[in-house]
Amino acid sequence: MNPQAAFERFFTPTRRLPTAAEQVILEQAKVSSIASTPNPLTLFSWGAGSPVLLVHGWGGCGAQLTAFVPPLLALGYRVLACDLPAHGQTAGEQTNAFEFATAIQTIAAQEGKFAGIVAHSWGAAATIMALSEGVTAQKVVCLSAACWLSSAVTTIAKLLRLSSETETELRHSFELRFGEAVWQRASADLRAANLAIPGLLFHDCNEHVFV
């Protein structure tokens, strides 16, 4: 696979369909659309009260974390879930973590301060980016958070069996598109360094993908 093809594949998620159990909860939500870049976002809302945002990961969808909806409603929160760009019912074919972060910022601009955010994988990394750029939340929970874009590229290179030369060209493509500082901009640990928000992190110590 040539570097350009690998670069395009990196940004092209698969679309995950809700399970039967998730669909039941999803059908109880109020569904709306929020103007955003590059495409309007599909937003799901349950209940009333202070908002808690559920943020899915790469290849996921807003339904993915709906198991959290009933217990959060029981605690008196309003629960929000979004289909991020190029995921679920939100249009698009390609996206990236920076667009994920922009989507979270867009929802925050409408909703104000979140009582909490529960986020998974690259959705967790994007949440940390958004928090470091002004989104406010009282608490955050990260599930298997992605940390370093550089590690993700290494993992993809191994999965696609790219040569070391092709991987180097792939990394150069990232820098051409997002700037040479892309690796720092997409590093969750660096973004989180100056945050003073109570957080709870869950991760499988035997899982090394994207970490």
Per-residue pLDDT reduced to its tens digit, 53-95 = 999 999 999 999 999 999 999 999 999 999 999 999 999 999 9
Q: How far is CA 145 from CA 138, 173, 202, in A?
A: 18, 24, 8
The structure tokens listed for 14 are 């698969």
Kindly tell me the burial class for residue 34, based on how many C-beta atoms sit within 10 Å of its own C-beta (0-12, 13-18, 19 or more).
middle
Partners of 78 in beta bridges: 51
CATH number for the segment(s) 21-143: 3.40.50.1820
> Rounded mean pLDDT of the chain?
93
pLDDT at residue number 210: 41
pLDDT at residue number 206: 67
Answer for the pair 160, 9: CB distance below 8 angstroms, yes or no: yes
Per-residue pLDDT reduced to its tens digit, 99-126 = 999 999 999 999 989 999 999 999 999 9
Look up residue 203 and give its DSSP letter: -
State the number of CA atoms in the 13 A half-sphere of 30 facing the CB. Answer: 9
Look up residue 148 and give its DSSP letter: -
